[in-house]
Amino acid sequence: MKKITVLFFSLVLTFFICANSMAQEKAVTKIAFVKHNKEIINFTLTSSKPFIFGGNRYMLYIGDKDFTRYEQSKNNGKGTLTFFIPAEDFNALKEGASIYLSYGRVTNGGTQDLEEVSKQSRRCWSLGKFSNKLLTK
């Protein structure tokens, strides 16, 4: 009887350890809106899960430019990040440039690295291509 009890608890413990160590799904992150606010463009992203509040910073990459000034919030279990891009910098961005979001700096080498990282990492997201048409009044 003692062996059966030990075996049972071992199986239960193994089940809980395996269930907790399964990979979590990557949050769905997308561009919510891009609005002009005086000399600043508010580039707002939303996520199906709250964004991490931690020691690293989120970075928005558009083409060969990166932006780190933002504010973040969570509401009803979902996350919001609003990056503040100077209008002059926004207007200089190239049409069709790739857009990525990362938690911390993930590359030293360009968009090809970001594309690979976004496929493999839960801390990097591909958000599509840049267009001036994203900007709403």
Segment 20-45, tens digit of pLDDT: 444 567 789 999 999 998 899 999 99
For 60-89, give one letter per residue: b (16+ CB within 10 A) or e. bbbbeeebeebebeeeeeebbbbbebeeee
Task: Tell me the pLDDT of the chain (137 aa) as tens digits.
Answer: 677 775 666 665 565 555 444 456 778 999 999 999 889 999 999 999 998 888 789 999 999 899 999 999 988 889 999 999 999 999 999 999 999 999 887 765 555 577 877 777 778 899 999 999 999 86
Q: What is the pTM of this model?
A: 0.76
Q: Whats the size of the chain, residue-wise? A: 137
| SS3 state of residue 17 | helix
What domains does the chain contain, in order, with CATH numbers?
25-136 (2.60.40)
Segment 68-80, tens digit of pLDDT: 999 999 888 899 9
